[in-house]
Amino acid sequence: MLDIAPHVRIFEGSPTDEFVTKRQTAIKDIAAKFIKPNHIARLLSVANGVVLASKEGGKLPPELAAEVAASITKVSPSFVAEEHDLELSTCAMLAAINAIVTGSKAGTITTSDYLAVGIWSGMSWQTGNRNGGFERLRKLLLDLSRDHVLKAAKLGRVRSKPTKAVALAEDNSNLGKVVENLRFVVDTLTANAAVDREEIDLLWWSISGWSDVLSMKYSDAKPHAAAIALGLDAAKRLRRMPVDLHKALVLRRVPEGESLSFAQLVKALGDDCVRLGAGYGNETLVTENTQVFPLLNVLASGSAKGIGKGIFSISDLASRALLEAVTFDVVDRREV
């Protein structure tokens, strides 16, 4: 379990044992709230809010801040949320860590995976926070989220062996067990087939050199359009969260190009921006979570207004496209 005492000092210089214990209780309660209801829109919204709060000068969205404040007030009735944005943000980040670490590990893609990949996508393009203690916590959450997703991605691609078949008794007395066994075998074979299909799709894509999203060869496209298309096209073929190999497959084709801000990118892409963003503009999972999907929102809207500043190398843009598109595509398809 995470020792929260050092992080409590981010907002309370000399906390008492009682103060730390109460915040620990509140953080557990907040973590439970973060994954309830545990549908995808909720989890990505929480991730987006936590990412927003972790930025330099950022704070939690009002609704999420109210949830965090309610949990603190439950154990500390004298707590007043006004002018305590730093405490609310810190507790939210600690709760996100708690939710990821203690969340369910059952299933191909779990609530912990959804929350972690959203936070990884959102925090990985931030420039950091000038508050030293807060930045250490932000980095801890970012590293945890990334490592969690990469580990889950590897485990999700491990092929399982079907269980040994259960023979039906002559009097059919074990029919229930036979059906249960058969269901497990079918689920196992289906999951294995999804991994096989992913590998085949990626192989043909890597050989073809053709971009589905641009409807042309990557070699014929503008450098930045090709880089982003590589990430988007690769994501369409994944059925699990990405691993480093998928990033390498994308980056090996990325052409040379200058580093750009999002605003400069829109100008450099020209009409290609519309083609690249065509599949995301009407998706509320994307448009309502601009911190998790900054690049997809820029592509969909043709504008960098309100997204944030930063300079990205052409390789960063390709990697960013892969991560954001996988976060949306795999989550949206809910593949086995």
- State residue 105's pLDDT score: 63
Tens of pLDDT along 32-52? Answer: 999 887 788 999 999 999 999
The pLDDT mean for the chain works out to 92
Q: Is 210 helix (H, G, I), strand (E, B) or coil?
A: strand
Predicted confidence at residue 249, as pLDDT, reads 94
Confidence of residue 163 (pLDDT cuts 50, 70, 90): confident
pLDDT at 316 over 60: yes
Look at the chain and count its residues: 336
Q: Where are the domains of the chain?
A: 5-155, 209-333
Q: Percentage of the chain surpassing pLDDT 90?
A: 72
pLDDT tens sequence across 73-116: 999 999 999 999 999 999 999 999 999 998 766 556 788 999 99
Q: Which segment of 126-135, 175-184, 284-293 scores lowest on mean pLDDT?
A: 175-184
Cβ partners under 8 Å of residue 4, min gap 6: 20, 23, 24, 27, 94
The pair of three-digit structure tokens given for residue 247, joined into one six-digit string? 């990033």
- Amino acid identity of residue 148, one-letter, is H
The full DSSP string for 263-286 is HHHHHHHTTHHHHHHTTTTT-HHH
Question: Is the pLDDT at 334 greater than 90, yes or no?
Answer: no
Q: Specify the higher pLDDT residue, 317 or 161.
A: 317
pLDDT at site 185: 87
Answer with the residue of higher pLDDT: 270 or 109.
270
Q: What is the pLDDT of residue 336?
A: 31
Helices (H), the chain: 5-8, 17-34, 40-54, 62-75, 85-102, 111-123, 132-155, 175-208, 223-236, 244-251, 262-269, 272-277, 284-287, 294-301, 314-333
Q: What pLDDT is attached to residue 36?
A: 85
The reported pLDDT for the residue numbered 188 is 87
Banded pLDDT at 335 (limits 50, 70, 90): very low
Residue 196 has pLDDT above 50, yes or no: yes
- The predicted model gives 278-286 an average pLDDT of 93
> Residue 333 pLDDT > 70, yes or no?
no
pLDDT of 175? 86
What percent of the chain has a predicted confidence (pLDDT) above 70?
Answer: 96
Three-class SS state of 211:
strand
Mean pLDDT of 28-33: 96
CA–CA gap between residue 304 and residue 250 (Å, rounded): 24
- Grade residue 172 by pLDDT with cuts at 50, 70 and 90: confident
